[in-house]
Amino acid sequence: MQPPLQPIVRRLKKRLRNYALFFIAVVLLTTVLSYVMALRAPEKVTVTASVKMGQVETSSLNNAESAATFIKSETFRRMLSRDAADLLPEQLQTYVDNEKILTLSLSGSDASSLEKKMQAITTAFLHVGQQQAKQWKRSLSSQIKNVKRTAVTGEAIIAKQEYLFDLKTRQQKITEPLLLEQKKQVMTMSKNKKALLGFLVGITLDLVLLCLPELLRKEEFSLENGPENKKQ
């Protein structure tokens, strides 16, 4: 009695010899196709920018979460330059790192366009923060001048000095928002890795094609007894 797997192995070897060129062609085809697709596939680019919030008295832009809401608003979109005129709200992702740090992210395939859009966004936001800081500084400077010109006597002199100190302290605490960094990240699988993946897919496909006829055979095999006798 022949070992139960010997007929299967014999047929697999015969099939491999007869269709060797076909199996080789399958592997070559999947490898070449994967490589060509890697050459033509667009890169996925992500541009990120980290912005540190300023400190301007009671401005909502002091807080990263409030700033993220403002950046996605229609009011802010109208402030953008032509480079970001076609920006959709869902394209811009915001991540609050902490109370003072906000990270912005844009993804797509056109690196140059993404970088211009991100620059337009950060420029517009920084401009708003800078204008708020300048307005508050001018307001506090005006108050300081008015207090200095006010003539007082007696105990009011001490109150005047305390008020001046408070105004100057508030003025010194005012800071403008700052762009910490803007960077680009290209995410793509290398051409060689994609070709290797295509090679492995071809090998897998060859194995399937090689063994599939055995799975479709009508004769059922028992690992102990070999082919089962057909019923008479």
Q: What is the pLDDT of residues 108-142, one digit of tens each?
A: 878 888 899 999 999 999 999 999 999 999 999 99
The SS3 call for residue 220 is coil
- Among the listed residues 162, 47, 180, the one whose alpha carbon sits nearest the alpha carbon of residue 108: 47
CA–CA separation, 146 vs 50, rounded Å? Answer: 39
Give the containing element (helix H, strand E) for 79.
Answer: none
CA–CA separation, 48 vs 102, rounded Å? Answer: 10
- Among the listed residues 190, 187, 186, the one whose alpha carbon sits nearest the alpha carbon of residue 37: 190
Cβ neighbours, 10 Å, residue 223? 8
CA–CA separation, 199 vs 137, rounded Å? Answer: 66
CA–CA separation, 194 vs 200, rounded Å? Answer: 10
CA–CA separation, 66 vs 89, rounded Å? Answer: 16
Q: Which two tokens stand for residue 5?
A: 């797997």
The domains of the chain, with CATH numbers, are 6-41+189-227 (no CATH), 44-187 (3.30.70.1130)
pLDDT given at position 4:
66
| pLDDT one-digit tens code per residue, 178-216 | 999 999 887 665 667 777 888 888 888 888 888 888 777
Give the predicted TM-score (pTM) of the model.
0.64
